[in-house]
């Protein structure tokens, strides 16, 4: 369905909060939002944003071909994610640059909103499910090649604050409008705080790559990178990625962060790999073999024991529904699921004149329809 004009009725999430009314879509934009006495109990919501996503539907953004990557992007769109960054992993230059070029074509075709490079300038001792052999010190020359290959569509990069040449890399991020996302790090509180201060002075947008994962645990005598990032978010100087799937973070940890930092400084991310939306089984994340069991992805090891958590298998809609089951406030959860739009300069609320990226849901947050620029995505 490609509706040039369509009116949705129900409880609409606007800049002023929830209202009962009608939202009219025309020519791909929200033409009007008006109060009414509608009897519909449906929820009309902004689409979700996911700025850290490695794939889905059996396909992987770091390694799959163009049509397979398009299918992964469509999978997340059909499940409510209307803004998506396709994430790579730490890869060697001969594999990384062509993949960035291919993903840039998907961005040019508006199938994704850009690219997130998770590495290779991170700390191998906190590699998580990254290939340590592909991790290197910060290399401004390679970063320039990455920017060129991505053709203006590299929107975010994960850096360890302690990587070599980090200030030069931050400067290049500012010049090319790339989000500086600190993560996969063993840096101290002081080192991380200094990197955040430098990035903010230079005018960079700062995020934390999947906070608490792939960094030292928070400790009262050695607070580490996590504390510096949380502190920056509390000041409004950073946005924290949380994988709110109950696997990467305990639900109580998500609750703590929403309550202390505020949903406006948090963005739910899936960190999804190819198994998102698929059954348990064997998959790949970059060059690494992954086994999914009971919905949890872990690296496969030669000895058969469980390895590190290897990305997520949830979509943002799954995380939203989970947090609502944990009795989180609806507005708080929806804000964390839509903060990522603003990171990319897009509206994070429904308002007249904005692109019609709209979700039509039941009261229980079950998806009925997804609209991307007014075009229905669920058939």
Q: What is the CA radius of gyration of the chain?
A: 20
Reduce the secondary structure of the chain to three states and give it as a string.
CECCEEEEEEEEEECCEEEEEEEEEECCEEEEEEECCCCCCCEEEECEEEEEECEECCEECCCCCHHHHHHHHHHHHHCCEEEEEEEECCCCHHHHHHHHHHHHHHHHCCCCCCEEEECCCCCHHHCCCCCHHHCCCCCHHHHHHHHHHHCCCEEEEEECCCCCCHHHHHHHHHHCCCEEEECCCCCCHHHHHHHHHHHHHCCCCEEECCCCCCCCCCCCCCCHHHHHHHHHHHCCCCEEEECCCCCCCCHHHHHHHHHHCCHHHEEECCCECCCCCCCCEEEEECCEEEEEECCEEEEECCCCCEEEECCECCCHHHHHHHHHHCCCCHHHHHHHHHHHHHHCCCCCCECCCCECCEEEECCCCCEEEEEECCEECCC
Find out whether 210 is annotated in a ligand binding site. yes
Find out whether 231 is annotated in a ligand binding site. no
Q: Which two tokens stand for residue 74?
A: 């469509």
Find out whether 118 is annotated in a ligand binding site. yes
Q: Which of 50, 271, 318, 357 is catalytic?
A: 271
Closest CA to 280 of 270, 295, 290: 295
Rounded CA gap, 266 and 257, in Å?
Answer: 8
Rounded CA gap, 147 and 129, in Å?
Answer: 24
Active site (annotated) includes residue 271:
yes
Residues marked active site are found at 271
Binding annotation for Zn(2+):
118, 184, 210
Binding annotation:
118, 184, 210
């Amino acid at each position: 369905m490609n509706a040039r004009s369509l009116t949705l009725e129900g409880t609409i999430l606007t800049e002023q909060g929830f209202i009962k009314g009608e939202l009219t879509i025309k020519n791909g934009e929200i033409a009007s939002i008006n109060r009414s006495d509608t009897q519909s109990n449906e929820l009309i919501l902004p689409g979700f944003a996911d700025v850290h996503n490695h794939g889905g539907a059996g396909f992987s953004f770091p390694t799959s071909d163009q049509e397979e990557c398009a299918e992964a992007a469509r999978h997340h769109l059909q499940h409510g994610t209307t803004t998506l960054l396709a994430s790579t992993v730490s890869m060697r230059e001969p594999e990384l640059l062509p993949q960035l070029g291919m993903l840039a074509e998907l961005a040019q075709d508006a199938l994704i909103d850009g690219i997130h490079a998770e590495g290779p300038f991170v700390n191998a001792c906190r590699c998580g499910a990254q290939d340590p052999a592909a991790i290197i010190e910060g290399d401004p020359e390679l970063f320039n090649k990455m920017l060129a290959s991505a053709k203006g569509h590299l929107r975010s990069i994960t850096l360890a604050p302690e990587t070599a040449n980090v200030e030069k890399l931050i400067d290049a991020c500012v010049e090319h409008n790339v989000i500086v996302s600190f993560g996969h790090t063993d840096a101290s509180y002081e080192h991380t705080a200094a990197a955040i201060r430098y990035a903010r002075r230079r005018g960079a947008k700062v995020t934390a790559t999947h906070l608490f994962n792939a960094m030292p645990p928070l400790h009262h005598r050695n607070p580490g990178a996590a504390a510096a990032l949380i502190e920056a978010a509390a000041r409004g100087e950073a946005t924290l990625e949380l994988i709110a799937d109950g696997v990467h973070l305990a639900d109580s940890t998500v609750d703590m962060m929403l309550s202390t930092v505020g949903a406006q400084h948090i963005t739910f991310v899936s960190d999804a790999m190819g198994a998102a939306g698929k059954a348990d089984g064997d998959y790949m994340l970059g060059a690494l073999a992954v086994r999914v069991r009971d919905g949890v992805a872990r690296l496969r090891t030669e000895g058969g024991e469980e390895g590190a958590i290897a990305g997520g298998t949830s979509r943002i809609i799954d995380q939203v529904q989970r947090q609502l089951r944990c009795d989180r406030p609806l507005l708080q959860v929806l804000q964390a699921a839509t903060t990522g739009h603003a990171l990319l300069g897009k509206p994070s609320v429904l308002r007249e004149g904005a692109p019609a990226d709209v979700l039509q849901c039941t009261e229980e947050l079950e998806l009925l329809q997804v609209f991307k620029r007014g075009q229905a995505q669920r058939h």
